Amino acid sequence: MQTLSYRQRRSELQTYFDRTASETWARLTSDAPVSGIRRTVRAGRDRMRAQMLDWMPADLSGKRVLDAGCGTGALSFEAARRGAEVVAIDLAETLVSLAAERTNEMRAALPSDARYGSIQFHVGDMLDPALGRFDYAVAMDSMIHYKPADMVDMLGRLSANVERGIIFTFAPRTPALTLMHAVGRFFPRQDRAPAIEPVDAGELRRHIAAEPALSSFREQNSFRVDSGFYVSSAMELRKA
């Protein structure tokens, strides 16, 4: 049973990403010009996505990858380019439609003999067990709004259907980030997101070590991006 705080936050995020910020998010994840602050976020996110993809094999042919909280589908597309069978899921129907449109266009622009697996899009909760089993689950910036205890619970639930690796980001707790979040300057007031929940990396590791569902997973990789207004850490948990 998922906690009340998880369900409440999920519902806020659905409203936020499906309605309030869908256009802001569509623009941030496109090539369209954006402000200086958002440029640093875009550059940091590009760097982070590349690193998360690089923790998986370069050839993902025949591998099932869950893009958990796929947003506008950039990571799904890159994983499919490596041959993966991607299941891309997000709470926000608007973003899933845009992701399907964008990935179709990008695929159409590829040379006809380019490697490309497949992408199946769904609107819903990334924890839905009906999505099936995966070699990898990747959650880029899609768990950062949940309380650390809920985030670790999410990792535990995902792990039940993951054979190899769970790759996810979290917002590291730093004095500067705490201040930035307090001031709330990621986005203008009218389209500000539900709060990000910064977590101390050591505390997160202790929670993970104490989560019985994750007992067969070990930390394999970690990485941090510090790009202006985008400060984010990624971790890979690998099945031992």
Ligand X SMILES: C[S@@+](CC[C@H](N)C(=O)[O-])C[C@H]1O[C@@H](n2cnc3c(N)ncnc32)[C@H](O)[C@@H]1O
Q: Which residues pair with 202 in a beta bridge?
A: none
Q: Does 44 bind ligand X (CB under 6 A)?
A: no
Minimum distance from residue 207 beta carbon to ligand X (Å): 18
CB of 240 to ligand X, least distance (A): 26
Report, in Å, the least distance between residue 179 CB and ligand X: 20
197 sits near ligand X (criterion: CB under 6 A): no
Residue from the set 52, 126, 204, 208 that interacts with ligand X by CB under 6 A: 126
**For residues 28 and 9, what is the distance between their CA atoms, to the nearest angstrom?**
22
82 is a site residue for ligand X (CB under 6 A): no
CB of 14 to ligand X, least distance (A): 6
Q: Which two tokens stand for residue 126?
A: 């990334």
Choose between 21 and 208: whose C-beta lies nearer to ligand X: 21
Residue 196 interacts with ligand X (CB under 6 A): yes or no: no
- Residue 71 near ligand X by CB under 6 A: yes
Residue in 151, 90, 148 with CA at minimum distance from that of residue 121: 90
The three-state DSSP-derived secondary structure of 64-102 is EEEEECCCCCHHHHHHHHCCCEEEEEECCHHHHHHHHHH
Out of 41, 53, 87, 89, point to the residue binding ligand X (CB under 6 A): 89
In the chain, the amino acid numbered 43 is: A
For the sheet with 118-123, list strands across it. Answer: 118-123, 85-90, 64-68, 134-139, 162-170, 230-239, 217-227
The stretch near ligand X (CB under 6 A) out of 51-59, 135-143, 159-167, 177-185 is: 135-143
Query: Contact between 231 and ligand X (CB under 6 A)?
Result: no
Which residue ranges make up the site for ligand X (CB under 6 A)? 10, 13, 17, 29, 69-71, 74, 89-92, 95, 125-126, 140-142
